[in-house]
Amino acid sequence: MHVNGKVALVTGGAQGIGRAFVQALLGKGAKVALLDRNSEAGQESKAALDEQFEAQRTVFIQCDVTDQEQLKGAFKKVIEHFGRLDIVVNNAGVNNEKDWESTIQINLLAANMENYGVRLNTICPGFVNTPILQSIDKEENMGQYYSYKDEIKNMMQFYGVMDPSIIAEGLITIIEDDTLNGEVMKITASQGIHFQEYSQTPFTSSKR
Ligand SMILES: NC(=O)C1=CN([C@@H]2O[C@H](COP(=O)(O)OP(=O)(O)OC[C@H]3O[C@@H](n4cnc5c(N)ncnc54)[C@H](O)[C@@H]3O)[C@@H](O)[C@H]2O)C=CC1
Ligand SMILES: CC/C=C\C[C@H](O)[C@H](O)/C=C/C=C/C=C\C=C\C(=O)C/C=C\CCC(=O)O
């Protein structure tokens, strides 16, 4: 699918990886709805992007993705505003080991989108340089894993921390290659963008 002229919705688009996604999609000619629960960061991001791209190509919608009504309303607004919706990027995420139920609810929201006739792919990055990494030093985020914070920092040094732009490059690859569906794209500092490979099994489903 060509990105040019398409309409994308990016959750958690106000900062970090989501912001890099929005920027890359705009750079490829898309119109983008940037959803985030953080209104201040969302508005700041839109203002910064408007300096680089035509303002009417980006809309910020405040939305907490865990609130089904807000989320449905946001999808409706995007279609009313831009007239269509072609690409959904389920990026919003938190690191909250003390409230793992809400972490799952936020981070894995897209799991039930397969019945909408869309291609569904996932991106699994290693460490990426975004504000979420500051949560490693906070007991309120790390909970029982707080005592591992120095180990995690050692891991970050060992494996490397990537720039969000490489994750955005992975997203554009997924959108542009229509053959990709059900794929797990891994992005690491040492191997770059690559895919999880699964061994072939002899059974072929009649539903494929
Ligand atoms: N930074 C990293 O090293 C890695 C990040 N990830 C995942 O990538 C995604 C993006 O993470 P980062 O950009 O690093 O984080 P970040 O903390 O910099 O940005 C996350 C954005 O999501 C928004 N958000 C959080 N909960 C929300 C909710 N309920 N509704 C709407 N918006 C909400 C935040 O306001 C923020 O703007 C997350 O799902 C994270 O788990 C995955 C692997 C590594
Ligand atoms: C524990 C970190 C806490 C918070 C950050 C966020 O919640 C983020 O979502 C979590 C990221 C966790 C990353 C965990 C492991 C990363 C590993 C690597 O980067 C190494 C990957 C592959 C090794 C092989 C290779 O080098 O290619």
Residues constituting the chain: 208
- Alpha carbon of 95 to those of 3, 72, 143, 155: distances in Å? 31, 24, 10, 17
Model confidence band, residue 130 (pLDDT cutoffs 50, 70, 90): very high
pLDDT tens digits along 9-35: 999 999 999 999 999 999 999 999 999
Give dist(CA 33, CA 46) in Å, integer: 10
Among protein residues, the one with the nearest Cα to ligand 2's atom 16 is 126
The alpha carbon of 132 and the centre of ligand 1 are apart by a number of angstroms equal to 7
> What is the mean pLDDT of the segment spanning 104-108?
85
pTM (predicted TM-score)? 0.95
Residue type, 13: G
The alpha carbon of 16 and the centre of ligand 1 are apart by a number of angstroms equal to 7
Is 178 or 208 the better-scoring residue by pLDDT?
Answer: 178
**ipTM score of the complex?**
0.97
Residue linked to tokens 């007239």: 83
pLDDT tens digits along 193-207: 999 998 888 888 887
Helix, strand, coil abundance in the chain, percent, nearest 5:
50, 15, 35
Among protein residues, the one with the nearest Cα to ligand 2's atom 15 is 126
